Structure 1
């Protein structure tokens, strides 16, 4: 009989986090959420910060609760991409990490292009050029607060920073580093050319390590404080997208996936990055994943739009559940109004329903005046954007994909899954919902030898989860409406 293996996964999203114990019996993975907590950014004198010490406190709470049921063999942490903390020469945090939605990167992309061309920057990094990327955040520090950068000895991305708090090890895990726009995608090392062009210090960047590396043990003082048994700290795919990628339940070497959460990421897994004129024009990113593979994908604003609308309605005294919002959208008239989900006005927090209505006014469309109409506008527009991104990827790769694996929390909306199947004219295989956590757990099990390969891990996840199939039902109508969406959103 195979001895059960218990590991602890921490998954941090842009608004909440959770601690989940994964138990592997040799055949399937069982998950138990032991702790859930809010992850609220804090605005202080015009700057938006992550409350990282509070987050570490929640990690302690999660470990304590997990230990009540017995010791766990390892801990792994995944988070969102691009954000970081800076340590001084004594290893102390200089200040709370700044949120990627903070306004400090305004104008930094244009400032960077005065020193290095867009073509050269993309040609080296293979990263989708977005103002939130680490490179532009660092450039804003150099331009606006050089005294902070001058005191920095080490830069650690968010999962690496939390791993440092746990173990004392300063490392840069490959997948999270690949979100920074500072990595040479082909050589898989920090790009001296990019950093030198912008006069940024390469010396603050730590050693790169492969995804799934054991970086050490829980700090002895931390174990004593919390009454924990020793456990390994595993640098899983620190970028949550790459942890989710590991959980795509497929045995096919070539597949198309859509990770649907606060952000939507649509792409595929490749042996090597694809960096060419077509991928640059489409602004498609290449991220690093487990085994040194490349994720060729498109970043799209996702459920952030609905989440932010819901927050606005709560401020107005209308507290809708996500299920209620879906039912209201389902009852609304189809194909009335469209938005481009990635339009700049939808990136910051604020009154999202009014921004959507203003977009519709500006583009000469019917203005969605009900809650259901706003949510339907978002869902249909996201599905159209997914179709556009899929076409761009397929054009770059010179092939088509008949199926799309949808994973993540967004698949709880059956309406969005069906819209995606219709818009993309593809069979949608939806599941697992908890893809990021499952991938985090699987990568820990791979690191410790409990699972032999990524293919085996995906087979185990497929056996552990229910996968729902959605077939296209109105593909022809959606294709007609797609052309109208293109016309409206290209204005």
Structure 2
């Protein structure tokens, strides 16, 4: 489906390849963009599973393994890109970080955001800096996973003055970049002032955190170095520039949406759904706080204003339950079967706290229905399509409710809804969402973060990046359109 007319970018005269590295909490990917005539072709050249590891009472990332997999991916890309590689960029999940000694060497494995120490650290932080004030400064949801609480946990453990880099920036540094903090990723640390877009002296001072341990903030599209040896000695990789894209993978996924104007919203759909829009400045009204909306950095100095909604988590947890009872369902089978059923007569609250936890989701759905005086569903695995239908209809209704809230809070009228991420393949849920919202639903790329990563690279290389705001949102969207 078309977006409003904009000048299409001309394919660059420099037809060397580009590489995007996407770090995920479940998998890490290396993708290669090459030019076949006037057409860009994106190929996934390496994917490796990823998961945290237990080390005593700590939950950590095996960063050495992640680096080895990236090395493998880059070598495979180099073997394919005989024309040479022009640039490399890294995006990934936010909040987690690596600590470095004075010589720039890794001190220990990075902790995982699910590490149990964070909850106690959050409570300790709020004794020193009230939650309302913290929200006022940063415009963010106060999530225990945020970097701020992890850094304070380090401080409580007597480990607080070493330089820290969020993981995408750490990988860039390991490849040869200078030490930086990219803006979109920095916003998710809960250490950035939402108005000045720089580190908040008040937060650092009130909590006794070392300001010098934080790197200099750069915008999306900043050129931050050249690939170092030994990878930089490979003929195809020699001279490859290192670029900071939107290092936060959600911001990168939004950058992969080929949309201009202010009449569109997005759902980054996967295990969880991020439902929001892109603003020119943060919104932190009492209603936005009450309803848990957050303001995260976006390309072009803009803001991703969104909130978390449940997603395919409900289906995946249910599939696990049915498997334990002897029936194997795939997501595709459930979607196909659910489409044949009549619409449910009642819906569930998909964001009820009990439905956000691992476990027997069908039983919890029935418990919710029973509490509301509604008839429960047959929990036998053969009745799984009825649960799937209820979940999909309820998700669509929740999306519509959240989008109506955003439209009112942001005083915007939406006509288009872009759905990106793995959930964009769920055509049944997409149709239900279109019906519930009344919006034109446009299905974007399942790997939209890769598209956004490449789009920022191309915008930076071909059109330049402002030292403060980086590449423009307009240029990035135009390149994203070419890459779909």
Per-residue deviation, 1:363: 5.3
How many residue pairs get aligned? The number is: 461
Unmatched runs of 5 consecutive residues or more in structure 1: 466-491
User: Is 1:192 the counterpart of 2:205 in the alignment?
Assistant: no
- For residue 148 of structure 2, give the secondary structure of its aligned residue in structure 1: helix
Which one is further off, 210-219 or 427-436? 427-436
Distance 1:292 1:38, change over 3 A: same
TM-score by length of 2: 0.86
- For residue 195 of structure 2, give the secondary structure of its aligned residue in structure 1: coil
2:27 alignment counterpart? 16
TM-score by length of 1: 0.85
Q: Which of 279, 282, 303 matches 2:291?
A: 282
Distance 1:102 1:361, change over 3 A: farther
CA distance in 1, matches of 2:474, 2:35: 16
- For residue 85 of structure 2, give the secondary structure of its aligned residue in structure 1: coil
2:49 alignment counterpart? 38
1:472 alignment counterpart? none
Give per-residue Cα distances to partners, 1:275-301, cap 9 Å, x unaligned. Answer: 222322222111112221122222334
- For residue 230 of structure 2, give the secondary structure of its aligned residue in structure 1: helix
Q: Which of 403, 415, 418 matches 2:431?
A: 418
Which one is further off, 331-340 or 109-118? 331-340
User: Is 1:95 the counterpart of 2:108 in the alignment?
Assistant: yes
1:406 alignment counterpart? 419
CA distance in 2, matches of 1:340, 1:103: 27
Matches of residues 108-123 of structure 1 in structure 2 within 5 Å? Answer: 108-123=121-136
Q: Which of 52, 55, 63 matches 2:63?
A: 52
Per-residue deviation, 1:346: 4.5
User: RCO higher in 1 or 2 (8 Å CA, sep ≥ 6)?
Assistant: 2
Give per-residue Cα distances to partners, 1:175-231, cap 9 Å, x unaligned. Answer: 011111110010011112123233333222111111111111112234348984331
Query: Is the CA contact (8 Å cut-off) linking 1:212 and 1:235 kept in structure 2?
Result: yes
Matches of residues 7-406 of structure 1 in structure 2 within 5 Å? Answer: 7-24=18-35, 28-70=39-81, 71-143=84-156, 146-147=157-158, 149-150=159-160, 152-167=161-176, 169-224=178-233, 228-311=237-320, 318-331=327-340, 334-335=343-344, 338-347=347-356, 349=358, 352-353=361-362, 355-357=364-366, 359-360=368-369, 365=374, 366-367=376-377, 369=379, 370=381, 371-406=384-419
Query: Is the CA contact (8 Å cut-off) linking 2:459 and 2:475 kept in structure 1?
Result: no
CA distance in 2, matches of 1:87, 1:122: 29
Unmatched runs of 5 consecutive residues or more in structure 2: 1-10, 465-470
- For residue 10 of structure 1, give the secondary structure of its aligned residue in structure 2: strand
1:455 alignment counterpart? 474
- For residue 257 of structure 1, give the secondary structure of its aligned residue in structure 2: strand
Per-residue deviation, 1:22: 1.4
Which one is further off, 203-212 or 456-465? 456-465
Query: Is the CA contact (8 Å cut-off) linking 1:330 and 1:415 kept in structure 2?
Result: yes
CA distance in 2, matches of 1:42, 1:336: 44
